[in-house]
Copies of this chain bind each other. A is one copy, B any other.
Amino acid sequence: MLKGIPRILSPELMKILMEMGHGDEIVLADSNFPAASCARKLVRADGHAMLDLLDAILAFFPIDTYTAYPVTLMQVVPGDPMPAIWEKYRQILIHHGIQISKLGFVERMAFYEKARQSYAIVATGEESLYANIVLKKGVIEAAR
User: What residues of chain B lie closer than 8 Å to A31, measured between beta carbons?
Assistant: 1, 7, 140
Instruction: Verify A11–B18 contact, CB threshold 8 A.
Output: yes
Q: Please classify the interface of chain A as helix (H, G, I), strand (E, B), loop, or mixed, using the class held by over half of its residues.
A: loop
User: What residues of chain B lie closer than 8 Å to A2, measured between beta carbons?
Assistant: 17-18, 60-62, 140
* A110 within 8 A of partner (CB): no
Instruction: Verify A3–B140 contact, CB threshold 8 A.
Output: yes
User: What residues of chain B lie closer than 8 Å to A19, measured between beta carbons?
Assistant: 11, 35-36
Q: How often does this chain occur in the complex, in copies?
A: 10
A18's nearest neighbour on chain B, judged by CB, is B11
Instruction: Verify B3–A21 contact, CB threshold 8 A.
Output: no
Q: In the complex, given contacts A7-B46, A19-B35, A32-B140, what are 18 additional A-B residue pairs having Cβ atoms less than 8 angstroms apart? A: A1-B32, A2-B140, A5-B60, A6-B144, A8-B47, A10-B44, A14-B14, A20-B34, A20-B36, A21-B36, A21-B37, A23-B34, A32-B139, A34-B119, A45-B46, A47-B52, A127-B144, A129-B141
A–B complex contacts, Cβ < 8 Å, 16 sampled? A2-B60, A3-B60, A3-B140, A6-B144, A7-B46, A7-B47, A10-B46, A11-B14, A11-B18, A19-B35, A20-B37, A21-B33, A21-B36, A22-B33, A22-B34, A47-B48
